[in-house]
Structure 1
Amino acid sequence: MAWNITDQEIDALVSKLSLSAKIDLVSGNGLWRTSPNYTHNIPEILMTDGTYGVRYSVEQIDGPQDRAEQLSAFLSVVNADLSRGVEGAFGSSRPATCFPNGCCYACSWDPELAYDLGTALAAECAHFGVNILLGPGINIRRTPLGGRSYEYFSEDPFLTGEIAAKLIKGMQDNGVGASLKHLACNNSEIHRTTMSSEVEERALREIYLSAFERAIRKAEPWTVMSSYNLINGVQAAENKWLLTDVLRDEWRFDGVVISDWHGIKDRPASLLAGNCLDMPESAPRKEDLRLAVEAGEVPMDDMDGACVRMLHLVRKAHASHITEPQTNFEAHHELSRRIAAESIVLLKNENDLLPLNMDAIGSIAIVGETARAPIYQGSGCATTSPTFEDNPVNEIVKLATNANVTTYDIADLQGDSAEDVLNTLSAADVVLFFGNTEVGVDGEGADRAHLNLLDGQDAAISQIAARNPNLAVIIATPDAVVMPWIDEVGAVLMPFYGGQGVGNAIAQVLSGAQNPCGKLTVTFPEKLEDVPGFLSYPGENHRHVYAEGLFVGYRGYDIRKTETLFPFGFGLSYTSYSYANVTCDTDRITEDSTFTIKVDVTNTGSRAGKEIVQVYVRPHTPRLSRPVRELKGFAKVALEPGETKEIQITIEARDLRYYDPAFGEWFLDVGPMSIEVGASSRDIRQILDIVAEARPLPATRLDINNEASQIVENPEIRSAFGNFLKSRLDLTDAETEQMLDYCGGSFLNLYDTVSWVAGEKISKAEMTSFLDQINSEFGAARIPAS
């Protein structure tokens, strides 16, 4: 039931609470609940994982909440099945829909589909009595080796933020809060609680924080979860710059910051930094906080502020709670199938091997254990116990009613009967090879070791392809893989981790009932060494230097002109599309502009399909180093054969800005920029140019220790400096120009250059004051961060 209490009553309530009650309020109650206070009628909140399904742990949610009993319950679960890894620690879970993982459903490039997913997740949370679902996880997939890549969406922050915002809206519009995670730079699972992500500020803001800002601005999640790692030497859960200066002051986030489970090392520091809720309950951390408050190290105002935010969250959760939830698990299974089918990416289709004519095909040979026991989710806290499970073989057999369907394990290619099996495969009309990366090694707590398929599978694919080129490879993987056999096979399908309905979705795509329309949200490299962060991954001495800076994913491949296996945004269809007549509703923009790109897209093939139209922006003369192009808009359009539709994509100029740490501000590059409309980051179909109008900036923030030449590079600043020199040194116009030319050729710093010829007629204080004025005038903030 709703907990009806006003803001004024919340403030009054906090003033009545004892210190012990306040500490309880900002601490967990057991593993998954906030602390109730029966004296003051404060109810609890129940939260649980995960990012693509509700993982309701029976033992740890419904089991004993007394700390003394929890240890024995925990040990009984772990000792019962030590092989289950991270998720084994949580015991058995109640069945819930295992939807496609983030690595899969983001490939739909369909925010409205993400909204539908959020709605379904909220319904299942309501069914279980859960108030907050701990997701979505939106960290950037910096390296394809990352253990939690299966939960995350993309290497691109714009796409990530758009998908996340709609997912959050779908959840919260239906009464269940989101916990946007993990803030920030949780890009590797190697020593994830002790490793410091060393990231320069431009990359941190433009790449790793950008998706969080976007999702918060567009969807207002109830909570944000801080990450395990350190950021530039400071624990994320205790990072005041991140959690207060950026998250609250710049982005105006007014919800609750939750720690990742046991992510806080110093509880007093975390509360001062802005981490409201410490999860799960920890008696030692509660005692540390009590001592710090009593010693005056944590002001009561900070404690009260965290308590007020917690009570606002409790009120919101109970006001939104659905008392009579209606959950249809069968319908959700169908949704899981639909999302997977919309997200599967077709990477290769030589000679139109696919789709298969299921009515006419005579024989189908299926190789791979995962065709019968599909891998459809990652390993970790998000692992969901499914309500149903579609078996790919069974789903294919249902459609290929006239075909002889045979199945083989990969091991059958290595035994005494291997030659007989290969002969059978060579005679089949088509061979479907179900491959996968390692399972149980990668996942939460462990990165992948390489980009190959499971040992022996790459060789097996080549072995089969040598006998039968009509070979389609279907790969279950959390992220990119290398394909040494790519030129040998007829087709490649990427379902990634497609959830419990992926078997049906694969069959629908193979048969042509579903025209594949998914596109990659990450770049597939030709080899691991091509990954932009390869040289600095995974770090050493507990420091992981993000040496590639801004140039993550396609940004790095483009700037180095590196060939890829498949580029960002790539995906084939059983039909084809043409682009024409790109226009923009303006040819000039300013920093507060919103403008619309229009382009005609035509289905030039014989099948109905959906195309994902992508808009990239390329500045011609960037002031600071920038990527060649960056995604700034996209749209998904359904087209019948021969149909043409005009697609409109609206872009905010604020999304075209870059961050300059010297000024601490976001700026728009001045001058021409290209709007590139394409089918992928390396398949640009239409281009037009517009001009950005903004005041030109100096090359860097001006200081008396800058080289003198830097102050005369910008015409406006040169003029202002000339006036300054003219007035202070009583120069003629000609003498002023000579002085400016002299500065332009000097390698000395600005003050030494001027004082060398002018002596002490201009003091350091005078010049510093003038430069501060110039910096303020030229570097004034154009648009606030949110």
Structure 2
Amino acid sequence: MAGSQLTPAENAREAVVEAALGKLGLDAKTRLLAGQDMWTLPALPEIGLKSLVMSDGPIGVRGVRWTADDPSVALPSPTALAATWDPELASRAGVLLAQEARRKGVHVLLAPTVNLHRSPLGGRHFECYSEDPYLTGAIGAGYVRGVQSGGVGTTVKHFVANDAETDRFTVNNLVPERALRELYLAPFEAIVENARPWGVMTAYNTVNGTTMTEHHHLVNEVLRGEWGFDGVNVSDWMAARDTVGAVNGGLDVAMPGPRTVYGPALAQAVRDGEVDEATVDAAVRRVLRLAARVGILDGAGPAVAELPAPVDGEALAREIARRSFVLVRNERGALPLKPGTVALIGAAARDARVLGGGSATVFPARIVSPLDGLTAALPEGTLSYAVGADPATELAVAGQGFSLRAVCRDTDGEIIGTRSAPGGLIQWMGSDLPDGVTHDTLHTIELTGTFTPRESGPHTFGIKGTGAFTLTVGGTTYYDDVQRAGKEDPFEAFFGAPVPRARAGLTAGEPVDVSLTHVVRLPEDTPMKVVTFALAHSGPQRDADELIAEAAAAARTADTAVVLVATTDRVESEGYDRRDLNLPGRQDDLVRAVAAANPDTVVVVNSGSPVELPWRDEVAAVLLSWFPGQEGGAALADVLTGAHEPGGRLPTTWGALADAPVTQVTPVDGELPYTENVFIGYRAWERAGRTPSYPFGHGLGYTDWAYDSLDVDGTTVRVRLRNTGGRPGREVVQVYVCPAGPGPERPARRLAGFTSVEAGPGESAEVTVDLPRRAFEVWDETAKAWSCVKGSYEISVGRSVADLRLTAPINV
């Protein structure tokens, strides 16, 4: 950091950092760069440094305990947040998450995820914002500003090109330099410029032959050199592979601990002359700067002296959800719901899917399901419910009806600790163990308690995890053996599928004893101490045709049918990519049967990323609800009843997989070439001349808008528009730059700006959007620099990339 660029407060913090650094010996410095456990860095009392705590959470702050007995506010998925097209709302979400982090003693949030939707098959698609780098950068910058305004650091991830899950630890992504600059690096660059994040996380994958934790060019020369990033670079968990390569490549912190490539190994590399101690000092300086910013380095004033006002988490989660819902079809005014009876249909309407799988998972204190929300919102006696087709095709972690606790025993069978287990999941990481329990003394964990079924019939119980297990239901032992990994993956215990191991006939309302005992075996050389397994369950499986027939009958007698279809953890999660875009189970058959029974059928799509909707023209309305967070059911009721309009616009293109231009996510011989170059998302759909189901930027409200005039003055765009409908509304005005003259191959149009406006019936409003210089630039691979392409362009404004209402020429 150049002293002339610093404020007096920053100069004072830097002085404290330098003084602290000067007091540290080599061993202490290298120890500080290595995680001491799963989530923290060590304290160094000799310089007044407290332990720095990190936590996962793009949608909520889990803290250092991954358990339902330490609940967190669960906001809608990142795709939902991006669908609001509102950076200020993203900032408010960040303020809430900072509040949650402080409550849980967390200093740094491992978020946001700003990788792009390169392909709809990306398994972690829901955790990223958009297919467009400009929109991603704008939402991500808002999020970072909000979190850091609350005195908590962010870690923008995963740097860079971590756009799929298949072989993510080893894949070599071959990305053309122009695509790397114009697409994949662009959101990171925008966030560094506009929000000054305090951290970045480097990815597992390799880019063009160099693993990202050792990528000197992209980290030291681009991120730090060109962009001026002054924060900490932390590895993704278990991503750092080589001591010398990592530290010389710009990696500051290797996580998790206690076994990392830093610590004693790094100190020895310095002593052996393989690493310059000044390189270590630079990394330590950045860690101390982060500690000073979050207020855990004595003598250094924190970066935020006055915290934002408290935020109501439930209210904000509900607001984000309803403003993220995208109404993509609404024939004959099907929505808002008209007075009358409503048949609500779908398993996910009762057992809500509110978030995606993987490290983004948190455990909210409450979940409002669509059934809960509509029951509260509609007049008594007007709502009926039918299961229809269940999207779940395998067991789920035990939840509804289970009352469990974890009992820990040593090798002699003596109880050494207990902990509540509200669900059937055990995920204890690092030192997060019940009081009195250590990894050295822990031999077995028994999940024990009761299960009270809500349905009579055969219930299936299973096990998720690897190792020795004993499963007992109602006094009968059904399994006593070793369950082995299905594939060689260090996270198989996290993301592997549950295995059915017991089938027992049970009676509704009658509790039965259940027990799952696991013998804990942690390899001596494991880089992180993690104990994880789960008791899984599914209820009686009724005939699918019978359930669909019941749903159709319910729809036939109602004024409106609302069908909620959903994906599952096995479809959208960290750890694996999707094989197709189909809804799981018989849900497509369900929708068609209900639509045939009732022409006023509304379908709510509960997924974090695109799915195919082969029946979309057969139903009256289609509403995309994403993974809507803990208040999703209440927000859905707000929108369906018309108390609020759906505010979202598509942050990514929705279409059939057969038409999608970019679908390759599986490496061949360890390599994944990005042969599409700069053409992903709507850019690729337009280039291929294909029409998607719903285009980028699309979304309907409950009113109509007329675009009356467009004026372009230099790079300032002014648009006048009018609410021509019968109720107040919000419109997202999108501005696209379209090359009209000769030059290098470029997308037919690219998003260059957007803003939103609210107006009442008949009211007019004017908005202004300033276009960035980058909208007219391309990366020159020969010159290794940005180049402005002079010539003529068209500036187009409208409601989506495919619904452009006004156009004006411009010369650059």
Say whether the fold is shared (TM-score over 0.5).
yes
CA distance in 2, matches of 1:193, 1:608: 49
Instruction: Sort the Cα spacing of 1:577 and 1:9 in 2 relative to 1 into closer, same or farther, 3 A.
Output: closer
CA distance in 2, matches of 1:642, 1:621: 39
CA contact (8 A) 2:67 2:363 kept: no
Q: What residue identity is the alignment partner of 2:375?
A: V
CA contact (8 A) 2:169 2:204 kept: yes
Name the residue aligned to 1:768. Answer: none
CA contact (8 A) 2:166 2:665 kept: no
1:474 aligns with 2:604: yes
CA distance in 2, matches of 1:556, 1:193: 27
Instruction: Sort the Cα spacing of 1:3 and 1:109 in 2 relative to 1 into closer, same or farther, 3 A.
Output: closer
- Of 492, 504, 510, the residue aligned with 2:634 is 504
CA distance in 2, matches of 1:497, 1:276: 34
Name the residue aligned to 1:660. Answer: 780
SS at match of 1:153: coil
CA contact (8 A) 1:185 1:231 kept: yes
SS at match of 1:205: helix
CA contact (8 A) 1:57 1:93 kept: no
How much does 1:547 deviate?
1.3
CA distance in 1, matches of 2:128, 2:77: 8
CA distance in 1, matches of 2:198, 2:757: 32
CA distance in 2, matches of 1:151, 1:283: 28
Q: Pairwise mapping of residues 584-623 of structure 1 onto structure 2 (< 5 A)?
A: 584-586=712-714, 595-623=715-743
CA distance in 2, matches of 1:401, 1:276: 58
Q: What residue identity is the alignment partner of 1:222?
A: W
Deviations 1:39-86 (A, max 9, x none): 33222211111111101233xxxxxxxxxxxxxxxxxxxxxxxxxxxx
CA distance in 1, matches of 2:259, 2:550: 64
1:214 aligns with 2:190: yes
SS at match of 1:685: strand
Q: What residue identity is the alignment partner of 1:401?
A: P
Identity of aligned residues (%): 36
Name the residue aligned to 2:483. Answer: none
Name the residue aligned to 2:467. Answer: none
SS at match of 2:721: strand
Name the residue aligned to 1:425. Answer: 555
CA contact (8 A) 1:126 1:321 kept: no
The farther-off stretch of 278-287 and 133-142 is: 278-287
CA contact (8 A) 1:333 1:388 kept: no
- Of 307, 318, 322, the residue aligned with 1:341 is 322
CA contact (8 A) 2:159 2:200 kept: yes
Name the residue aligned to 1:643. Answer: 763
Aligned length: 646
Q: Pairwise mapping of residues 215-614 of structure 1 onto structure 2 (< 5 A)?
A: 215-286=191-262, 287-318=264-295, 319-320=301-302, 331-357=312-338, 360-361=339-340, 363-401=341-379, 403-411=381-389, 414-416=544-546, 419=549, 421-525=551-655, 527-534=656-663, 536-586=664-714, 595-614=715-734
Deviations 1:577-632 (A, max 9, x none): 1102100123xxxxxxxx31001111111011100000000111242111000000
Instruction: Sort the Cα spacing of 1:5 and 1:36 in 2 relative to 1 into closer, same or farther, 3 A.
Output: farther
Deviations 1:81-123 (A, max 9, x none): xxxxxxxxx4456211101110111100011111111111111
Gaps of 5+ in 1: 59-89, 587-594, 693-786
CA distance in 1, matches of 2:232, 2:292: 12
Gaps of 5+ in 2: 1-8, 296-300, 390-541
How much does 1:492 deviate?
0.5
Deviations 1:658-691 (A, max 9, x none): 1011111111111110101010001110000110
How much does 1:11 deviate?
2.9
Q: Give the helix-richer structure, 1 or 2.
A: 1
CA contact (8 A) 2:122 2:665 kept: no
Q: What residue identity is the alignment partner of 1:189?
A: E
Instruction: Sort the Cα spacing of 1:424 and 1:10 in 2 relative to 1 into closer, same or farther, 3 A.
Output: closer
Instruction: Sort the Cα spacing of 1:602 and 1:179 in 2 relative to 1 into closer, same or farther, 3 A.
Output: same
Q: What residue identity is the alignment partner of 2:214?
A: E
How much does 1:415 deviate?
4.7
- Of 22, 25, 50, the residue aligned with 1:18 is 25
How much does 1:403 deviate?
4.7
Name the residue aligned to 2:37. Answer: 30
CA contact (8 A) 1:5 1:315 kept: no
Q: Give the strand-richer structure, 1 or 2.
A: 2
How much does 1:517 deviate?
2.1
Q: What residue identity is the alignment partner of 2:195?
A: A
Instruction: Sort the Cα spacing of 1:262 and 1:459 in 2 relative to 1 into closer, same or farther, 3 A.
Output: same
TM (normalized to structure 1)? 0.80
CA contact (8 A) 1:567 1:681 kept: yes
Q: What residue identity is the alignment partner of 1:381?
A: S
Name the residue aligned to 1:121. Answer: 97
How much does 1:216 deviate?
0.6
SS at match of 1:635: strand
Deviations 1:730-750 (A, max 9, x none): xxxxxxxxxxxxxxxxxxxxx
How much does 1:238 deviate?
0.8
How much does 1:423 deviate?
2.8
CA distance in 2, matches of 1:276, 1:631: 35
Name the residue aligned to 2:508. Answer: none
Q: What residue identity is the alignment partner of 2:768?
A: Q
CA contact (8 A) 1:118 1:171 kept: yes
Name the residue aligned to 2:535. Answer: none
CA distance in 1, matches of 2:550, 2:252: 65
SS at match of 1:244: helix
CA distance in 2, matches of 1:648, 1:615: 10
Q: What residue identity is the alignment partner of 2:724?
A: T
The farther-off stretch of 248-257 and 393-402 is: 393-402
Instruction: Sort the Cα spacing of 1:379 and 1:191 in 2 relative to 1 into closer, same or farther, 3 A.
Output: same
RMSD: 2.0
